[in-house]
Amino acid sequence: MDISIVINGETVTRDVEPRTLLVHFIRDTPGLTGTHWGCDTSNCGACVVLMDGKPLKSCTALAAMAVGHEIATVESLEKDGELDPIQQGFHECHALQCGFCTPGMLMTTRALLNENPDPTEDEIRVAISGAICRCTGYKNIVAATRWAAEHQEVSR
């Protein structure tokens, strides 16, 4: 079936099998390999993208379900060479180690900050509770999210 999905503001049209998962549609698009495919069970959260601004584990949705929606991947965060505050926060607070969960964590925390620009530590922990990080212990991810909240530009 032919489908068109708006990903990071660009319409991507491809012929796919009806059972194609959104994560595969995204990763098979040239240059969009930042969304990681991890556990195959929707437990890890490495595949989180934003659909209409809300976090979605892209391994739980068929690509066809994204038709008519706007998808944002981790590649959408950096604009004109400038890191998104959440990316900068992850850098400043050493919130990544192996990097596997990082794209999903970035998208999850970006969605949180879009919804709640000044979350508490508990609100951050609830927001990221659907993602697994095996390296950091989450402390630095929480710190990075707080850093980003304190350094967001009004325009974001």
Domains and CATH numbers, the chain: 2-76 (3.10.20.30), 85-151 (1.10.150.120)
Q: With 0.95 as the threshold, say if the pTM is over it.
A: no
Q: Which two tokens stand for residue 139?
A: 């402390």
User: Residue 120 CB: number of other CB atoms within 10 A?
Assistant: 12
**Which pLDDT does position 42 carry in this prediction?**
82
Residues 6+ apart with CB under 8 A from 37: 23, 24, 27, 46, 47, 59
Q: Which residues pair with 10 in a beta bridge?
A: 7
Contact yes or no for 47/36 (Cβ under 8 A): yes
Q: Is the pLDDT of residue 155 over 50?
A: no
**Which pLDDT does position 38 carry in this prediction?**
83
Contact yes or no for 102/16 (Cβ under 8 A): no
